[in-house]
Amino acid sequence: MTMPNHIPPSPRSQEGLALFVALIVLVAMSIAGVALIRSVDTGTLIARNLAFQQSATLSGDQGIETARTWLLNNSSSLTGDRPGNGYYATSQDMLDLTGNVTPGDTSDNVNWDGKGGPTTPTCQAKDSVGNTVCYVIHRLCDTTGPLDSSTCSTRQYIRTDSGKGGMKPELTNQPGSWDPEIASMGVYRVTIRVAGARNNISYLQAFIVI
């Protein structure tokens, strides 16, 4: 019985297989390259956004300090609203400070950008890094007029603790074992809005006792 002779693959067929494998490798490398570029772009974008946020936070801290200085300089005339200075003698509890609580209603917004309600902030000139800082101050009272612990958040009592560094202030209206101060101190809420580059908007809030 005669066995058929084995015919080896021709060089041309081998070249076709190598070309196919090379194409697969090329496609895989292209996909990996695209993924790497996307990863680098995403990392750069995240780093840039973090830098913008840090810049906004630093500018916001300066805004809080500006508001605190204004409160100290005007401590004798805080019984009524002063819209021209971004100050309100009541807490305005129903106010939508960021505009996100009732997005379809701007009548209860702070007028940060000229499109909100009647509550007007005070804004500083754009700083050296391009951030615009605006703030609004609310005294935590239900009504205007002199500070009254029945309608306002005040610090009326302090504890003495000589063993731990002297006076220990607390935000409380409850006497208990606390000693009354000579004069009540009001609590003021400062809301900061920082508008920066690439439409970056940041909000900060601080409470100041004066």
Residue 90: both structure tokens together: 């009541």
pLDDT in tens, 54-100: 667 778 888 999 999 999 999 999 999 999 999 999 999 999 999 88
Query: Which residues contact residue 115 at a Cβ distance below 8 angstroms, ignoring those fewer than 6 apart?
Result: 106, 109
pTM (two decimals): 0.68
Cα–Cα dist 26/96, whole Å:
56
User: What is the per-residue pLDDT for 165?
Assistant: 44
Structure tokens at 185: 């101190």
Candidate ranges 35-39, 128-132, 139-143, 193-197; pick with highest mean pLDDT: 139-143
3-state secondary structure of 112: coil
Residue-level pLDDT at 33 = 74
Structure tokens at 67: 């508001």
User: Residue 135: beta bridge partners?
Assistant: 122, 192
Mean pLDDT, residues 6-33: 68
Q: What would the pLDDT profile of 125-141 be if each residue is shown by its tens digit? A: 888 788 899 999 999 99
Q: 46 pLDDT band (50/70/90 cuts)?
A: low
How many whole angstroms separate alpha carbon 167 and alpha carbon 161? 6
Structure tokens belonging to residue 114:
């000229």
